[in-house]
Amino acid sequence: MKLENLKPAKGATHNSKRVGRGQGSGKGGTATRGTKGAQARAGYEHKIGFEGGQMPIQRRVPKFGFKNPTRVEYKAVNVATIQALSESLGVTTFDVDTFIAAGIAAKGELVKVLGNGEISAKVEVSANAFSKSALAKLEAAGGKAIVIE
């Protein structure tokens, strides 16, 4: 196989429609554009979404929903994840940078610690928010929870 030998698969290509080449071709005269009107003329351009005067789909479909502009999104980190990290890394203090380094959160994300799972390690965790169950589990294990403002 060489670059000069490459060609499309059989049946993948077809000849283009030659319009406006005389009446004998069957596509002369109006050149398949119909008679008169803007679309029969040269230079015709329609607006994006124009459906020939029919009510366009973006106006037929109703608007719905609500986006809260003041919503605060948190990256959830479970207590079980903190336990696993403290065992694997041997770390006793966790902050947002530790979670970023571990690949749990991305830079600029707010972190909330949730109470899913069990924790036995005595760790100090700094995060943007904590759930009540996460606070209870951390303090029961002898750890500390620090809320970042």
The reply to whether 20 falls in a domain is: no
The reply to whether 106 falls in a domain is: yes
Put the strands of the sheet holding 144-147 in their side by side order: 93-94, 124-127, 144-147
Q: CA 147 to CA 102: how far, in whole Å? A: 20
**pLDDT, tens only, 4-44:** 999 999 999 999 999 999 999 999 999 999 999 888 999 99
The reply to whether 113 falls in a domain is: yes
Q: CA 72 to CA 20: how far, in whole Å? A: 61
Question: The CATH number of the domain where 94 resides is what?
Answer: 3.100.10.10
The reply to whether 50 falls in a domain is: no
**pLDDT, tens only, 104-131:** 999 999 999 999 999 998 999 999 999 9
Q: What angle do helix axes 79-89 and 132-140 make, rounded to 10 degrees? A: 40
**DSSP string for residues in 23-50:** GGGTS-TTTTS-SSSGGGSTT--PPTT-
Print the domain residue range for 80: 74-147
Domain count, the chain: 1
Q: CA 133 to CA 39: how far, in whole Å? A: 67
